Chain A
Amino acid sequence: EPEVTQTPSHQVTQMGQEVILRCVPISNHLYFYWYRQILGQKVEFLVSFYNNEISEKSEIFDDQFSVERPDGSNFTLKIRSTKLEDSAMYFCASSGLTNEKLFFGSGTQLSVL
């Protein structure tokens, strides 16, 4: 069964450093997303991406965040200068033509020290 894959599973970084979280969405999907989940809290929307551009973003997704689809398979989330409060589980998701039924990856646990 096709699945969304994310790497790395865990990432530890120092405050102020840049991190790149990587995702390979399901191959025939057209919509791509990043969500995050702070420990014990609900899953929060960050950004959606369609047709090689951001289609929607939340207040969390400020100038420190960026997304990119550098080739036909990868979808990345970059945080330029990490803050302690960026520590969370980051989930990538993708969906097909209907823009529904989001399928999530297993997440990258980001710890900012």
Chain B
Amino acid sequence: GESVGLHLPTLSVQEGDNSIINCAYSNSASDYFIWYKQESGKGPQFIIDIRSNMDKRQGQRVTVLLNKTVKHLSLQIAATQPGDSAVYFCAERQGAQKLVFGQGTRLTINP
């Protein structure tokens, strides 16, 4: 079946730098995407979402970009902080209510 996946399993950046986490999806009919952050021992925490009729959406220090032509989703985190260290998942809505998660990227912020 079609699935959502991530390009890189791990990413290390220096504190204060910007980070970009990528995600590829294959279902061109998907209309809604979410980025979640998961810290160790905790549930996924909502970061930002985007609908397919948009190509960019900004939040506080985060930006999600959607490129429907190449079915690519990215999460940009500006001025990374130690608290940004976590696993980041993209998720795609398939069907009416099911979210399909990618494998996740572990982001490590180096001091």
Chain A residues in contact with chain B, CB under 8 A? 4, 31, 33, 35, 41-45, 48, 50, 55-56, 58, 91, 93, 99-107
Contacts and interface: CB of A to CB of B under 8 A. Distances in A.
Contact of A56 (B91, B95, B104): B95
B86 to A, nearest CB: 13
B42 A103 contact: no
A76 B46 CA distance: 22
Contacts, number: 55
A100 B49 contact: yes
Interface of B: 32, 34, 36, 41-46, 49, 89, 91, 93, 95-104
Most buried by A among B36, B46, B91: B46
Chain B at the A interface: SS class = strand
B43 A50 contact: no
A84 to B, nearest CB: 22
A91 B44 contact: yes
A106 B96 contact: no
A101 B101 contact: no
Contact of A91 (B43, B49, B95): B43
A62 B99 CA distance: 19
A104 B36 CA distance: 10
B96 A42 contact: no
Nearest to B43: A104
B96 A45 contact: no
A101 B46 contact: yes
9 contacts: A35-B99, A42-B104, A44-B101, A91-B43, A93-B43, A101-B46, A101-B49, A102-B34, A104-B43
A42 B42 contact: no
A43 B97 contact: no
